[in-house]
Chain A
């Protein structure tokens, strides 16, 4: 097979192969550096590739720079006074680094923020309607049906204020809300954070279904490597603003370092850092 392609390459088929490779790539991050407030460098040359239709997981401990990576993609660095200073980000072959969130979301990239950022004083259904912002004016009834189909618990709570929902309901709500936008690339930041194990399992099953049924490409940031690697095709491990490891998810699961640090199966099993989640309240107010 490989032989055939190589020999065909001498003809004009080689070009076809290259093109196929390009079309296969949804997102390409090439050697980016991210700096906050002009002085705090957080990402130091990060490269990663997300292929169409895949689930890619990005693992790493607290403070590694995972959220920053997602925000570099979604354009949400700007309100926090962060900037991609080097490298480039291409989505479907188009450069998007430092584009505005309005433009990036309209290309189909939707980020589900860390820590379940619901609209407290809006009802569950109103929260879902905000998800239609990129498609303002288009019908959304069918999408509501779809979300309620994935998350029947939300249907029962649709008139309740989101501020009064439980953690599990909220995680469903924020994922459902993102689905309303018809995402091509869905970025999930720590969806398992602070949820009971049974609920985590349920959420991850639905994430997997979304990948398969909605033809959405997914990037899942997690400290819960075990869960993330079960549904992922490919995985990256990040430390101190750098990618230190990458491979097929199955392979990553077997990697001794990953086992020790992230799967907690080694004797030391240091899975403590789970809970000490920091929230960055000091982000610059963006009027």
Chain B
């Protein structure tokens, strides 16, 4: 029972990380139909930026965190502006290939600057953050994950439901020509979706870095798990991305705990294949509203 609960806690918190990172991926896909193959590298960029600011420049943690948020947000804008925007109007496949190239370029840059070793953040999470629930103890990193995960999910929930920019973003995903006809700045929406994708990917990259250490190859590989997550949840569903993330997180930890650790790494991709065969739009993909 104790073991089960421990796995449950670990699974959900890992799942939150996947959800958060998938949120960024889905956002880009929803607004511009682009599959971002550089997604894994976005995690790594966030994690390394935080490393540089917090551990090397030794700035206070809260400030490093804030600077990483701002920094990745701006990076998202810059990347969209310089690389994606010139391809607006071109075939989708060209844009997707571009993201593949971007990913390789980012990875190369990170390797060049930080090398291929495993880095570590200085310890900063207070021990007091951990929770002792009697039967299970939730380590502080998991508590931090829950807090960050829930905070961001609520934040984006509110952003999309109530803010004007959030509603404009959804309108572009829904009917692009209608959005254009009303003067929605569609290119700005694309840029914003990249900026948000950079931020949420950075968040999950940082927390994964706290758990596993920071390594370019590992982080970009974990980033690839966004594919099983979004295929499971439905490429165009934000709610699906969140649930998909949690399901994959749980599956991984339970497979690792009860079956075998080597199976753990491949279980998400087994799920991916099964889902593609039985339910290609994912569990929560948008069902077209039919006119009656």
Residues of chain A whose beta carbon lies under 8 Å from any beta carbon of chain B: 74, 76, 79, 101-102, 105-106, 110-113, 117-122, 126-127, 129-134, 136-137, 161, 163-164, 174, 177-178, 181, 283-287
Given contacts A76-B181, A112-B181, contact A129 B33 (CB under 8 A): no
Contacts of B181 in A (CB 8 A): 74, 76, 101, 105, 110-113, 117
Could you tell me if A76 and B180 are in contact, using CB atoms closer than 8 angstroms? yes
Contact partner of B176 among A129, A177, A178, A286, CB < 8 A?
A: A286
Contact partner of B182 among A79, A126, A181, A285, CB < 8 A?
A: A181
* Closest partner residue, chain B, to A284 (CB atom): B89
Could you tell me if B183 and A117 are in contact, using CB atoms closer than 8 angstroms? no
Contacts of A111 in B (CB 8 A): 181
Count B-side interface residues using an 8 Å CB cutoff.
32
Could you tell me if B177 and A130 are in contact, using CB atoms closer than 8 angstroms? no
Could you tell me if A130 and B92 are in contact, using CB atoms closer than 8 angstroms? no
* Closest partner residue, chain B, to A178 (CB atom): B182
Does any Cβ of A come within 8 Å of B32's Cβ? yes
Could you tell me if A133 and B185 are in contact, using CB atoms closer than 8 angstroms? yes
Contacts of A284 in B (CB 8 A): 89
Residue interface bits B89-110, CB-to-A below 8 A is 1, else 0: 1111001000000000000000
Contacts of B263 in A (CB 8 A): none
Given contacts A130-B182, A133-B184, A133-B185, contact A119 B164 (CB under 8 A): no
Nearest 8 interchain pairs by C-beta: A105-B183, A163-B289, A117-B178, A134-B183, A119-B174, A133-B184, A130-B171, A287-B88
A-B contact pairs, 26 of them (CB 8 A): A79-B89, A79-B176, A101-B181, A102-B186, A105-B181, A105-B182, A110-B182, A113-B178, A117-B178, A119-B171, A119-B174, A119-B175, A126-B171, A130-B171, A130-B182, A131-B182, A133-B182, A133-B184, A163-B289, A174-B178, A181-B182, A285-B91, A285-B92, A286-B89, A287-B34, A287-B87
Q: How many A-B residue pairs have CB under 8 A?
A: 103
Residues of chain B whose beta carbon lies under 8 Å from any beta carbon of chain A: 32-34, 87-92, 95, 164-165, 167-168, 170-171, 174-186, 190, 286, 289
